[in-house]
Chains A and B, each alone.
Chain A
């Protein structure tokens, strides 16, 4: 149980285009989802927290107009990187938690390369 999927696993796009990454909880209802960014050999950096049906809460320094987060249902959250630039290239990971547990379960991540 507690499986989280992400799609796509790897995406390459041209500079200036937008990319959408999906995060799904497959066997539980995720009241809260988190989006992280990770650079090679570094720790996870929390970008934002999203609760189903409400606006995401962004961490300091994260541009909310650049990284649009939608959590429309208890099993799906999306991260859209708008007008992507090469510096947005990174590994993006989502995690999900439910209301009756303190544990977060992680998706497999999405590698974004912006050319």
Chain B
């Protein structure tokens, strides 16, 4: 079975501090695509960062970076210098398989992050 597990239902962090959200997944595929999506109170799903499994280098987007451990099937998200606008539900997801024309996303259960002033 192909699954995504986010073991932290809720987390909180002080503004300007760093927080790491955990994600593990299970697949028998050798290539796949990994994503973190953010869903703020508006409920609009926003792509935060993506990682191609065949790339060893960890993806980075401004304050957001990932720690991709392929052997451990782990894909954690680090948010640096947390801002109030980072308050949201964060979903880890992946698309199993090789190059894929918009394949099915498999989502984790989500982690609700609160950034406190």
Interface residues of A (CB under 8 A from B): 30-32, 34, 38, 41-44, 46, 49, 91, 93, 95-99, 101-106, 108-109
**Residues of chain A with a CB closer than 8 A to B105's CB:** 34, 44, 46, 95, 104
**In contact, A108 and B43 (Cβ under 8 angstroms):** yes
**In contact, B112 and A41 (Cβ under 8 angstroms):** yes
**In contact, A98 and B108 (Cβ under 8 angstroms):** no
**Residues of chain A with a CB closer than 8 A to B104's CB:** 34, 46, 49
Say whether B25 faces chain A, with CB atoms less than 8 Å apart.
no
Known A97-B102, A98-B102; contact A106-B44, beta-carbon cutoff 8 A: yes
Q: How far is the CA of A104 from the CA of B35 in the complex (A)?
A: 10
Say whether B54 faces chain A, with CB atoms less than 8 Å apart.
no
| Closest beta carbon of chain A to B11's beta carbon, Å | 14
| Closest beta carbon of chain B to A105's beta carbon, Å | 7
**In contact, B43 and A102 (Cβ under 8 angstroms):** no
**In contact, B107 and A43 (Cβ under 8 angstroms):** yes
Say whether B45 faces chain A, with CB atoms less than 8 Å apart.
yes
| Closest beta carbon of chain A to B111's beta carbon, Å | 11
Known A42-B110, A43-B91, A102-B33; contact A31-B43, beta-carbon cutoff 8 A: no
Partner of A99, one of B89, B102, B108: B102
Q: How far is the CA of A46 from the CA of B50 in the complex (A)?
A: 20
Q: Which candidate, B55-63, B69-77, B93-101, is the interface stretch facing chain A?
A: B93-101
**Residues of chain B with a CB closer than 8 A to A96's CB:** 102
**In contact, A32 and B44 (Cβ under 8 angstroms):** no
**In contact, B91 and A102 (Cβ under 8 angstroms):** no
Q: How far is the CA of A16 from the CA of B58 in the complex (A)?
A: 51
| Closest beta carbon of chain A to B45's beta carbon, Å | 4
Counting from the closest, the 4 A-B pairs by CB-CB distance are A97-B102, A106-B45, A32-B102, A102-B33
**Residues of chain A with a CB closer than 8 A to B28's CB:** none
Q: List 25 A-B contacts (CB under 8 A).
A: A31-B101, A34-B105, A38-B43, A41-B112, A42-B109, A43-B109, A91-B43, A93-B43, A95-B105, A97-B101, A97-B103, A98-B102, A102-B33, A102-B95, A102-B99, A102-B100, A102-B102, A102-B103, A103-B47, A104-B105, A106-B37, A106-B44, A106-B45, A108-B42, A108-B43
